[in-house]
Amino acid sequence: MDLLRFGAARHLQLFTTTYRSMHLLKNKAFVDGKWQHAANNAVFPVTNPADDTVIGEVPDMSEKDAKFAIDVASKAFKSWRDSTARERANILRKWNNLCLENVDHLAEVLTAESGKPLAEAKGEVIYGTSFLEYFADTARHVTGEIIPSPWPNKQILVTRHPIGVISIITPWNFPFAMITRKVGALLAAGCTCVIKPSEDTPLTALAAVELAKQAGVPDGVVNVVTTSRNNAASVGKLLCEDPAVGCISFTGSTNVGRILYGMAAKGIKRVSLELGGNAPFIVFPSADLENALDQAMLAKFRNNGQACVGANRFLIHESVFDKFIEGFKGRIGKKCILGPGTKAGVTCGPLVNKMQVDKVSGLVDDAVSKGAKVVVGGKVAKELGDKFYQSTLLVDVKPSMEIYHEEVFGPVAVCYKFKDEAEALEVANSTRGGLASYVFTKDLGQVFRMSQKLEFGMVGINDGIVSVAEAPFGGIKESGIGREGSKHGVEEYTDIKYTLMSALDK
Ligand code: NAP
């Protein structure tokens, strides 16, 4: 701990006036409506992946702090659950408006800690707030049912009730939107929460809840417990196992999701798991190739490839393969401008941390050593720093290569040539991941067959971006359980109660 403080102090000398002037930069966790230290005063530094400067320090909270936050959320639930849907909708709408008013300030914080270009950070804030707006509207439409009973003197009443305290664990790749997508829905349902953001990106979470406080979210209803990676597992365990928690809502890797699911099972807790993907991007001969290429750029290089719905395997029909690769190469050369996220014109920032760089490099090196051909990229862009990876295009990829099966989660497009629809389907479905998939074709029958047979929670036809607040986002197989966004997103945070009303004729 002292060592950590010492290291942070050394790095803090690099602290620049840019960070000091950031309007929404916080250096404490947020519990019970107050900015709080860790009980043992521990802190950890948050660094900018573009240049390793320290943006600030935040509390390195432990189980004791997380327990306090759960208790606070549990107490707050007793009154929040009795608020009216209209009151909750109004608060969500105010939070949405404040986020939109502060889009530039939120984006500055987001870019500083995640590395993504400023324009992309603003895009994430706008996308993330759309969930607050959507759930503000949805709050007043969480309804029950009266079901015709088989008895003349009885009524079957079905009502929905907020689950209670929700534990939220979020990743670094969309540090704003992954929070609003969950918190917007659970607040609309009448639940309270404790959020544990990633070690890499706690500052965006804190900035977001500062605005939630200004919007009138009552004390204790939304809490943020910041932890370093050292404390993630122990705090995560408590967030899953504490009896006061009713549901664990997690977005992150399938491996961690599996651990949390196991812990939640001990208390028969509800879970909402948004896990890793392995999206196929399939291009058939009838496709509009220019559109397919434009969408391929979005599906692969948005967020520098660090997206769960990002295209992970390009399956291209043999008749259009060479043309597609030529077009892809040209677009990557023109549109992927690597550099720090604050520099004008940059479209691809650094990867978030050294672990990500090592993972992406390892997968590419393994593929190349087994015969894959690099069309563009394929290396760390050392001239920019140790976290910048060149936008990469690989062909001649085979099942013997790790990259054929793994979620790359980086700026590497992996291309595979197929002969017919049956082969495309077989390759696409040969994974335990089942989040997003993309199909490019003008053949209507093929659209229906692919929509029917692809084993994925989401299918984009002639489009590389599927996520929107109005639609149910989520995966099947090892990509998760539950849905976020849409009316289903709120229902995740409610329990159904059946009341039998009898003796109505007496
Ligand atoms: P990760 O390692 O699973 O981390 C996600 C969160 O879990 C972070 O807050 C992390 O904290 C925390 N964590 C790590 N180990 C934990 C443990 N043992 N107990 C409790 N919490 C723990 O995932 P990531 O590498 O940050 O994110 C990338 C993954 O997320 C990819 O697989 C991606 O596909 C997936 N993802 C899915 C969606 C979706 O909606 N389906 C959206 C975005 C990302 P620290 O970061 O501090 O370690």
With a cut of 50, say whether residue 1 has pLDDT above it: no
Residue 98 has pLDDT above 50, yes or no: yes
Q: What is the rounded average pLDDT of the residues 23-33? A: 96
Residue 349 has pLDDT above 70, yes or no: yes
For residue 227, report the distance from its CA to the centre of ligand 1, in Å: 13
The rounded percent of the chain whose pLDDT value lies above 70 is: 96
Atom of ligand 1 nearest to the CA of 239: 20
Residue 47: is its pLDDT beyond 70? yes
From 62, 228, 256, the mutation candidate for ligand 1 (largest count of ligand atoms within 8 A of CB) is 256
Probe ligand 1: pick from 225, 253, 405, max atoms within 8 Å of CB? Answer: 253
Residue 223 has pLDDT above 70, yes or no: yes
Res 17 pLDDT > 80: no
Question: What top-level class would CATH report for the domain 3-275+483-494?
Answer: alpha beta
Say yes or no: CB of residue 356 within 6 Å of ligand 1. no
CATH of 279-468, one of 3.40.309.10, 3.40.50.1100, 3.40.50.300, 3.30.70.980: 3.40.309.10
Q: How confident is the model at residue 18 (pLDDT cuts 50, 70, 90)?
A: low
What pLDDT was estimated at residue 2? 37
Ligand 1 centroid, distance to 200 Cα (angstroms): 11
What's the gap in Å between 168 CA and the centre of ligand 1? Answer: 11
Can you read off the two tokens belonging to residue 29? 């966790």
The first and second tokens of residue 160, run together, are: 């929905």
Residue 97, φ and ψ in degrees, nearest 5: -65, -40
State what percent of residues in the chain have pLDDT above 90. 94
pLDDT tens per residue, range 139-195: 999 999 999 999 999 999 999 999 999 999 999 999 999 999 999 999 999 999 999
Provide the pLDDT for residue 237: 98
> What pLDDT does residue 124 have?
98
Q: Does residue 11 surpass a pLDDT of 50?
A: no
pLDDT at 9 over 60: no
Could you tell me the distance, in angstroms and rounded to a whole number, from the CA of residue 253 to the centre of ligand 1?
5
pLDDT level of residue 14 (50, 70, 90 thresholds): very low
Confidence at 3, pLDDT banded by 50, 70, 90: very low
Say what angle helices 444-453 and 421-429 make with each other, to 10 degrees.
Answer: 30
Instruction: State the catalytic residue, choosing from 193, 308, 336, 348.
Output: 308
pLDDT one-digit tens code per residue, 403-441 = 999 999 999 999 999 999 999 999 999 999 999 999 999
Question: Which pLDDT band, with edges at 50, 70 and 90, does 506 fall under?
Answer: confident
Higher pLDDT, 399 or 168: 168
Instruction: Considering the candidates 113, 210, 274, 491, report the single residue annotated as catalytic.
Output: 274
Which of 62, 131, 179, 198, when mutated, tests ligand 1's pocket best, judged by the most ligand atoms within 8 Å of its CB?
A: 198
pLDDT level of residue 22 (50, 70, 90 thresholds): confident
Residue whose entry in the numeric block shows the structure tokens 């997508």: 181
* Token reading at 194: 């404790």
Both tokens of 163, joined, read: 């689950």
Work out which ligand 1 atom sits closest to the CA atom of 484: 40
pLDDT at 64 exceeding the cut of 80: yes
For residue 247, indicate whether it is catalytic.
Answer: no
Domain layout of the chain by residue ranges: 3-275+483-494, 279-468
The rounded mean pLDDT for the chain is 95
The whole-angstrom separation of Cα 31 and Cα 26 is 13
pLDDT given at position 23: 87
CB 30 within 8 A of CB 208: no
Answer for the pair 494, 246: CB distance below 8 angstroms, yes or no. Answer: no
Provide the whole-model pTM: 0.95
**Both tokens of residue 386?**
């140790």
Ligand 1 centroid – CA 169 distance (Å):
8
* Residue 8 pLDDT: 43
Equal fold, 3-275+483-494 vs 279-468? no
472-492: average pLDDT: 98
Residue 276 Cβ contacting ligand 1 at under 6 Å? yes
Which atom of ligand 1 lies closest to the CA of 252?
Answer: 30
Catalytic residue list contains 308: yes
- Which of 19, 29, 7, 52 minimizes the C-alpha distance to 227? 29
What is the per-residue pLDDT for 327?
Answer: 98
Nearest CA to ligand 1 atom 26: 171
Q: Is 170 in the pocket of ligand 1 (CB under 6 A)?
A: yes
- In this predicted structure, the answer to whether residue 214 has a pLDDT above a threshold of 60 is yes
Task: Give the 3-state secondary structure percentages of the chain, helix then strand then coil, rounded to 5.
Answer: 45, 20, 35
275 C-beta closer than 6 A to ligand 1:
yes
List of residues 6+ apart from 332 with CB closer than 8 A: 297, 301, 376, 377, 391, 393, 413
* The pLDDT value given to residue 4: 40
Q: Ligand 1 in contact with 289 (CB < 6 A)?
A: no
pLDDT at 19: 81
Q: Is the CB of 310 under 6 A from ligand 1?
A: no
* pLDDT tens, position by position, 237-292: 999 999 999 999 999 999 999 999 999 999 999 999 999 999 999 999 999 999 99
What's the rounded mean pLDDT across residues 467-481? 98
* Closest atom of ligand 1 relative to the 277 alpha carbon: 34
CB distance 65 to ligand 1 below 6 Å? no
